[in-house]
Amino acid sequence: MSAALSPAASPLAWAPEVWWELFQHFLAWSLMSIGGAITLVSDMHRRLVAEAGLLTDENFTAAIALAQAAPGPNVLFVGLIGWYSAGLGGALTSLVGVMIPSSTLALTASRWVASRRDWLGVQAFQSGMTPVTIGLLLATGWLLAPSAQHPAALLLSAAVALLVWRTKVPLMALVALGAVLGALGWV
Amino acid sequence: MPDPALAVSEEVSTARPASLRELFIAFTVLALQGFGGVIAIAQRELCERRRWLTAKEFVELLGTAQVLPGPNVCNLSLMIGDRFFGWRGAAVALAGMMTAPLILMLLLAWVIALVPHDSTAHGLVRGALTGIAAVAAGQIVGTVLRLAAPLKQHPLSLGVSLSLAAAAFGMMAWLRWPLVWVLLGLGGATCLLTYAVLRRRAP
């Protein structure tokens, strides 16, 4: 197999066995995905690329990079993994598999919490988690920020942080600015 | 704390979506603007532009969303949809969050596969993605600074809650502890501490 040309499945591939296999894998991963499906990437790589050989390493990496860059929730990388493995059917079965268990639990749990808003324990949980949530979100921003080896990009991140904090400048304008500066090779 | 942040914490959620259709459109519109993550644009659209939630409510829902398995923003969509229209709202909000971005992304994957790797277009796109990634990181940090405003009304004092936020940050960003430990350990301790304070305050 040539390494340069990674053979992804054709978009309209008919592969019910692979769809079923993907569905089962992602169904099992769903309830383990605290912090998002992205936390299970190494396990997914081991099972789907190394063991099952459903897609190439190159396509696996491309799926994550593309989903990070494209608009929308990052969990869509699961759909792309399915897409590269078994076309459109693979994309849909993978996403449905990963969403059903966690969504059912999230809805049940949040209703339980909402219906007991007057309980002291529930209030303590909601307020108590707030500082931790804020710290964790800050860590996400920090880990995604460019490294100090790219001072121009880091400066751009810092400027955007300041603008988002203190002004109401449209976020899409900032994204467009980033895209232009990046395409020109300035960051 | 500066004034704009103060203004955020005092906002009230006065509005609500008029229909499932409006809910779907709102989530589609915000998802399509969410490059490199949806949290920043969700906070901007839902709290500040549409005023369906206050910053405090947003952080509280996000707190619940993140201790549960599943993508945080998807859990958040389900909870917000459910709050306005029950399970149908939950399904519609989640569908709005995922459908259009999924179609767009599959189209993109299909187009990219057709473009040769060494072409100029490929280089330009790679550069643009680097720039977008830098902006996305900055957006998250800016959003955190806005969301920190409700900490002023936190049962634990502002100083204590900011220290706890800093501890969570340090555990994730520097010590690289697994998220589950941070949620169970620090999150559990913080909830217990808050419980003790609320208990003492309660008549």
Give the pLDDT of residue B100: 98
Q: What is the pLDDT of residues B139-180, one digit of tens each?
A: 999 999 999 988 998 999 999 999 999 999 999 889 988 888
CB-based contact, B39 to chain A, within 8 Å: yes
| Chain B residues near residue A81 by CB distance under 8 angstroms | none
* Assigned domain for A126 exists: yes
Residue of B150, B136, B135, B141 whose CA lies nearest to B5: B150
Structural domains in chain A (count): 2
Average pLDDT over chain B, rounded to an integer:
90
CA distance A43 to B48: 38
pTM of the model: 0.88
Give the pLDDT of residue B12: 65
Distance of CA A95 to the CA centre of its chain: 12
Q: Find the mean pLDDT for residues B50-60.
A: 94
Q: Which 95-154 residues of chain B touch chain A by CB within 8 A?
A: 97-98, 100-102, 104-106, 108-110, 112-113, 117, 124-125, 127-148, 150-151, 154
Q: A150-164, B22-36, B110-124: which has the minimum mean pLDDT?
A: B110-124
Residues A33 and A121 in one domain: yes
Residues A106 and A153 in one domain: no
Q: pLDDT band for position B88 (50/70/90)?
A: very high
Listing DSSP states for A8-66 in one string gives PPPTT---HHHHHHHHHHHHHHHTT-BT-GGGGHHHHIIIIIIIS--S-HHHHHHHHHH
User: Chain A: nearest CA to B64, how far in angstroms?
Assistant: 7
Residues A102 and A180 in one domain: no
Residues A21 and A113 in one domain: yes
Residues A83 and A20 in one domain: yes
Residues A21 and A110 in one domain: yes
b/e sequence A136-164, b meaning 16+ C-beta within 10 Å? bbbbbbbebbbeeeeeebbebbbbbbebb
ipTM: 0.89
Task: Supply the range of the domain harboring residue A174.
Answer: 145-187
